[in-house]
Structure 1
């Protein structure tokens, strides 16, 4: 029988796992000429359709200064356009251009295959358990933070 990991040990394992996975994704998207932030914005637009900057920020958990720089960069590359919203003339919606869509579809297909290969170390039951446990822990931590 193995010892039960302490909260500190679990934290270290989570951080190291996240770091390793993030480094893998960063290297993968860099090969396509993007940084992780750019990839996350394009991926959100691919799967959710046109979104405002605020909507994207809430989905990818990015600070507003970083978000503005990334949106400007993607716009200069011709991957996205900003469009006015009739209901709120102050808000701007981001939309993929045809070139941006082609780029993210290609990169995302490769990214998805790489992540499936990385996650293949976990069996189906381990994936379900890991998913459930991390979701439970994340929701609990968010609720505890909200109560502070």
Structure 2
């Protein structure tokens, strides 16, 4: 390992840096488990969002996935081409499209969800229930600093 891959102890004293490093490490693991399914993490997130809330519009996906409008459009176009998503006109506004999973989309979502849950389980199993509750509380508190209700 070189100095670029090992955070200094000073950097690891910063909560923001620790969160960033963990995010990158977990994202890499998720990429690794989704790759054999032919999915990107962003596609996996979109499949999950649509499984939980069928009929989401692109604008709603922008907000949930925290990505740009053009990225959502590209994402949905690609997923539609793969047969995972069907897009319908919104009943109240013909300019808007609602996105829903197809049967194929549901299947790939279930496989992706199972794979991602394995990664999440590794993280959760490293902590006791009390530590996990404490960590969640602390991270929620930090979240409020950047995104007050």
TM-score (norm 2): 0.86
Q: Does 2:31 correspond to 1:37?
A: no
**Count of residues paired in the alignment:** 140
Q: Does 2:143 correspond to 1:138?
A: yes
Runs of at least 5 residues in structure 1 that lack an aligned partner in the other structure = none
| Shift in Å, 1:110 | 2.4
Q: Which runs of 4+ in 1 moved over 3 A?
A: 5-8
Partner of 1:69: 74
Higher RCO, Cα 8 Å, sep 6+: 2
Q: Among residues 58, 61, 65, which one is paired with 1:60 in the alignment? A: 65
| Shift in Å, 1:117 | 2.4
| Shift in Å, 1:7 | 9.5
The worse-fitting range, judged by mean Cα deviation, of 16-25 and 104-113 is 104-113
Alpha-carbon distance between aligned partners in 1 of 2:135 and 2:63, rounded to the nearest angstrom:
24
Runs of at least 5 residues in structure 2 that lack an aligned partner in the other structure = 1-9
| Shift in Å, 1:6 | 8.8
| Shift in Å, 1:113 | 2.6
Encode CA deviations 1:20-47: one digit per residue, 9 max, x unaligned.
0111111111121011111111110112
| Shift in Å, 1:119 | 1.9
Alpha-carbon distance between aligned partners in 2 of 1:133 and 1:115, rounded to the nearest angstrom:
18
Partner of 2:3: none
The worse-fitting range, judged by mean Cα deviation, of 19-28 and 72-81 is 19-28
Partner of 1:125: 130
Q: Does 2:73 correspond to 1:83?
A: no
